[in-house]
Amino acid sequence: MNIVIFGPPGAGKGTQSNLIVKKFNLHQLSTGELLRKEIKDKTKLGQEITSIINDGNLVSDEIVGNIIEKYLSDKTYNSRLIFDGYPRNLIQAKNLDRLLNKYNQKIHVVLKLSVSLETIKKRISERKNLEKRTDDNEKTAIKRFLNYEQNIQPVIDFYKQSNLLKVVNGETSISEISNEISGLIEGIKG
């Protein structure tokens, strides 16, 4: 099965994706992580996107679309992907649909992690010390949160229409959130 997980920065998408990957034998496709790797490896793309990411802005739909297609076209990951951080706007959601059709796949469930800005600020200041991400400071975190809020509503409506959206309370503990998500996924499998 393919799963989409989204939520504001610091909502726990990465942590929860990791747990789902292990439990259901999926592959995590985190556009944020792949983009950070480009920066770390100092590739041409990495150099192009460094300031965009550090300023808390979104990279172009084309760049992330190309990354997504690379994975969807690879048979190793056929119907085993969890999209972490994609789509982030309606153009990306429609592009994902187009690519899924092209490669004869579909999304089985879309998980939305709901978390308040106060919780996010707290989590990001904790994560800053652990992961040392250059975009984890309060100013950028707020910008990323506002960016998220601004673009995500049409994506939510898009997946509501196709009855795929499940909202998960992201304010509780890692294990509580994980149990809720596992229950939802089991429900779909069964």
Is 12 near ligand AMP (CB under 6 A)?
no
Q: Residue 46 CB, nearest distance to ligand AMP (Å)?
A: 12
The 3 state secondary structure assigned to the chain is CCEEEECCCCCCHHHHHHHHHHHHCCEEEEHHHHHHHHHHCCCHHHHHHHHHHHCCCCCCHHHHHHHHHHHHCCHHHCCCEEEECCCCCHHHHHHHHHHHHHCCCCCCEEEEEECCHHHHHHHHHHHHHHHCCCCCCHHHHHHHHHHHHHHHHHHHHHHHHCCCEEEEECCCCHHHHHHHHHHHHHHHHC
Is 7 near ligand AMP (CB under 6 A)?
no
Q: Residue 58 CB, nearest distance to ligand AMP (Å)?
A: 4
Single out the segment in contact with ligand AMP by CB under 6 A; choices: 86-94, 122-130, 162-170, 172-180: 86-94
Single out the segment in contact with ligand AMP by CB under 6 A; choices: 30-38, 118-126, 158-166, 181-189: 30-38
Q: Residue 114 CB, nearest distance to ligand AMP (Å)?
A: 16
- How far apart CA 102 and CA 152 sit, in angstroms, is 24
Is 9 near ligand AMP (CB under 6 A)?
yes
Is 16 near ligand AMP (CB under 6 A)?
no
Q: Residue 169 CB, nearest distance to ligand AMP (Å)?
A: 20
Single out the segment in contact with ligand AMP by CB under 6 A; choices: 80-88, 98-106, 120-128, 176-184: 80-88
Q: Which of 17, 28, 72, 86 binds ligand AMP (CB under 6 A)?
A: 86
